[in-house]
Amino acid sequence: MMLFALVVTTSCKKSFIELAPLDSPSPANFYQNETQFRQALATDYVTLRAIYNIDWTMSEERSDNTDYDYYPIDIGKATVDREYIHDFVDDANNTYDANMYTYLYVGVARCNIIIANIALPAAAGIPVATRTEIRGEAEFLRALYYFKLVQYYGGVPLQIVPVTTADQAFIPRSTAAQVYAQITADATAAIADLPVPTFAGGKQSGAATKGAATMLLADVDMTLLKYPEAETLLTSLSTMGYSLLPTYAAVFNTANKNSVESIFEIQYMASATTGQSSNFLYLFLPRSPNTSLITNGIASSSLSGGWNYPTQDLINAYEPGDPRLDASIGVAEGTYSSALQMTISAYKSIVNYTPAAGKVGRPFDKKVLNTESIVNLTDDDWPVYRYAGALLTLAEAQNEQGKSGTALTSLNAVRARAFGNATHAITTTDQTQLRAAIAHERRVELAFENDRWHYLQRTGTAVAVMNAFGANLKTLPSHNYLLSSSYNVTANNLIYATPFAELQLNPLLTQNPGY
């Protein structure tokens, strides 16, 4: 009885039941040294993989660059939802829409915790320079997450402190202007806090740098039509050590990850055990039980593939002799079974391609084709910002200010690298003609890098371009499955629906127009 009374008495003391666990991390004993903050940052970078594993569905497949293999055999929600995004018939119950929204806010929450805790006395023992860099990485990531959120959903709830109560969790959406103001503030702070990139042996670490934050803020300024500000930022990148690799194909070789051309890329590492691998190639190849003719002899399947393949519209956009066509697009040739799976009999070049007798040629994104050794697991990073893209954005910012002659320098630097010489230089200084030339260059240079849809969005051309693209698809016998409601694109389709589940959770949220 004495022992029982002692246990009861002790267990009722508030100080006893509120003790933090001593043998495992908790908010009370974490965020106190550099190692712990680096671990927290690592989880934030991991969030980027979840986002970019589906970002191509939300952006590149939303554009006129890519299409999908229609697969009526599988009418599961995941398959149909991805098709509906491409065809502009998605709604608030779309799986990818909901996952993107969730992942982005997971990233935001992790950034908020890091930014709040790095300023607390518990972190005071960490050197100032280290604390500043850690804060800068979190500021950059939060800016990137909110930039994605506002591009995909318009005005969204702004959470910039750790959520500890229900009142903090359930708030109304802010305006798009307010979200952009926060993005600008975070990116500006990140530029001040982050170091310039270093290229030890021609390689960066993969972490966010001053260059990444500078490019992100320039991208935001271009979206807001703030061309002079964007020009200043983009010009500063040339002082940070970035340059173009000698050849276009070299950019996508996994031996050149985080190179001098990379401003920011999502990190993947082929591994059978850690979950850090990419598998974009297998998603983008046609559905096939054996891809070994293409995948370097590795007897893998791509039965979950059939997505994000180059459209004929994109293929036609390449100029004759442009080496980027062959570097960007390959062809899987073979025959399809009644189960709509391809038996691949040859891997061929897209240049002047004509199918062999009795065969079908299916183009695919060749940028993610690299040597591999683990079945269905690849080492390809995902490029978010490249210096070539920065040069094209600089040319655009200058041209929009009437500095057409100046804009030619950056534009032609990209073209000279692509063609291997300066004989294909653009010479026009007519602003309208040069605008079209820059748009063309951007499309073929950055194909399959999730740039096209956002470019169409910010330039106000998405509705016209995608309606024309859809109207052409509907004339093709190969696309007779398209619904009559497909490709009736309006301004409402420039952003996605607020996910239905979020509306149910938060009564203060409102739905976007048209959904």
Give tens-digit pLDDT for 252-297.
999 999 999 999 999 999 987 888 999 999 999 999 999 999 998 8
Q: HEC states along 473-488?
A: HCCCHHHCCCCCCCCC
Give the other-Cβ count within 10 Å of 357's Cβ: 5
Place of tokens 């420039």: 494
Could you please report the per-residue DSSP string of 145-170? Answer: HHHHHHHHHSS-----S---SHHHHS
Within 8 A by CB and 6+ apart from 181, the residues are none
What's the pLDDT at 373? Answer: 83
Give the start-to-end residue ranges of the domains of the chain: 280-380
What's the pLDDT at 271? Answer: 86
Task: Locate 271 and state its tokens.
Answer: 């591994």
pLDDT tens readout for residues 492-502: 999 999 999 99
Which whole-number Å values give the CA distances from 266 to 65, 345, 380, in the listed order? Answer: 21, 33, 9
Which residue, among 370, 394, 373, 372, has the nearest Cα to 382 in the 3D structure?
Answer: 370
Burial 167-201 (b: 16+ CB within 10 A, else e): eeeeeebbebeebbebbbebbbbbbebbeebebee
Q: Kindly report the pTM of this predicted structure.
A: 0.94
Q: Are 193 and 132 in contact (CB under 8 A)?
A: yes
What's the pLDDT at 272? Answer: 79
Low-confidence ranges of the chain (pLDDT < 70): 1-28
What's the pLDDT at 15? Answer: 47
What's the pLDDT at 371? Answer: 87
Could you please report the per-residue DSSP string of 41-95? Answer: HHHHHHHHHHHHHHHHHHTGGGSSSEE----TT---HHHHHHHHHHHT---TT-H
What's the pLDDT at 26? Answer: 60
Give the other-Cβ count within 10 Å of 291's Cβ: 26
Give the other-Cβ count within 10 Å of 500's Cβ: 16
